[in-house]
Amino acid sequence: MRGNLRALLYLSPWLAGFAIFFVYPLLSTVYFSFQRYDLFTLEPVGLLNWEYFLKDQAAWTAIRNTLWLVVVMVPLRVLFGLGVAQLVTRLKAGVGVYRTIFYLPALVPLVAGTLGFVFLLNPGTGPVQAILSAVGLPAPDWFGDPAWSKWGLTLLGLWSVGDLMVIFMAALLDVPKQLYEAAAIDGANGWRQFTSITLPVIRPVLMFALVTGVIQTLQYFTQAEVAARVASGATDSAGSVFTPGYPDQSTLTFPQWLFQQGFRDYAMGYACVLALVLFAVAMAFTLILLRQFRFTEEES
């Protein structure tokens, strides 16, 4: 019993934080989703916000865009991160230098990295267009063309793949060497070794990376917002003129639409409906993660 009290004492900051910044706001979000609230007047509207959600074209565009990023960008990042990690662990010399270089972009502030990429990929100012046309490839107007803007964001995501690379490198180095030696004796070549030894052993790490990648992408906000703002050249000092999604709503993500509704248009009741939709989806993936989570406890 004393043990429980002591634990309570040590946990108290987090317990208070959990109550104030999670449980209360979550219940409150449910309450507000049935209200119309614009910071001044509060009016119960029943299911109106929910009905509006079903008809809200922009919300569904935002869902489609977010889903695109989840389906395309997340697996590409995992594959690329795994490829780079595999390459670096196989190098006999300069591992530290390469690891540093490949990890560095992951640390670059999101706003700074996004600004750099918009400028870099801009056909008028960056070299990417010249390089692509030199080798005979189409040179799109990345952040100015709705068909290509999400690919521009994907390139930015691949550039900052360093955190995944570090995690995969650790996992790859943990694969027992004897397994490879035994396989080599049995005559298994590189690709066979990769599919029948490496992949099965690091599968939990890959799953973890995929699921956390999906959850992070459900929150995708800053890069899309900054890219759209810079590419459109929108003037925005009072948070009034800018509409996210440029070009043509192609980079509008779900959290951006939530932010737009709640904090630019002050449709706070409706924003809570969007928040609950986001909660349901994120929670589903979090549950997958929790089930998969192995307890690294020295249990006594």
- Which of 70, 74, 82, 171 is close enough to bind other proteins by CB under 8 A? 171
Minimum distance, C-beta of residue 124 to other proteins, in the bound complex (Å): 7
Binding marks (x or -) toward other proteins, 129..168, rule CB under 8 A?
A: xx----------------------------x---x--xxx
Residues from 18 through 57 that contact other proteins (CB under 8 A): 18, 20-22, 24-26, 28-29, 32, 39
Min CB(249)–other proteins separation in Å: 19
Specify the residue, 150 or 228, whose C-beta has the smaller distance to other proteins: 228
Q: Residue 192 is encoded by which pair of tokens?
A: 């066979």
CB 244 within 8 A of CB 256: yes
- Measured CA to CA, the distance from residue 274 to residue 262 in angstroms comes to 9
Residue closer to other proteins (CB basis): 196 or 286: 286
Return the residues of window 270-289 that contact other proteins according to CB under 8 A: 271-272, 275-276, 278-279, 282-283, 285-286, 289
Query: Any contact of residue 247 with other proteins (CB under 8 A)?
Result: no
**Least distance to other proteins, CB of residue 61, Å:** 17
Q: Is 85 in the site for other proteins (CB under 8 A)?
A: no
In the complex, what is the shortest distance from the CB of residue 216 to other proteins, in angstroms, rounded to a whole number? 9
268 binds other proteins (CB under 8 A): yes
Report in angstroms how near the CB of residue 248 gets to other proteins at its nearest.
19
Burial class (CB in 10 A: 0-12, 13-18, 19+), 74: buried
187 counts as binding other proteins under rule CB under 8 A = no
Segment interacting with other proteins, rule: CB under 8 A, options 144-152, 175-183, 231-239, 244-252: 231-239
- Residue 59 interacting with other proteins (CB under 8 A): no
Q: Could you say which of 52, 53, 60, 119 contacts other proteins (CB under 8 A)?
A: 119
Q: How many residues bind other proteins (CB under 8 A)?
A: 110
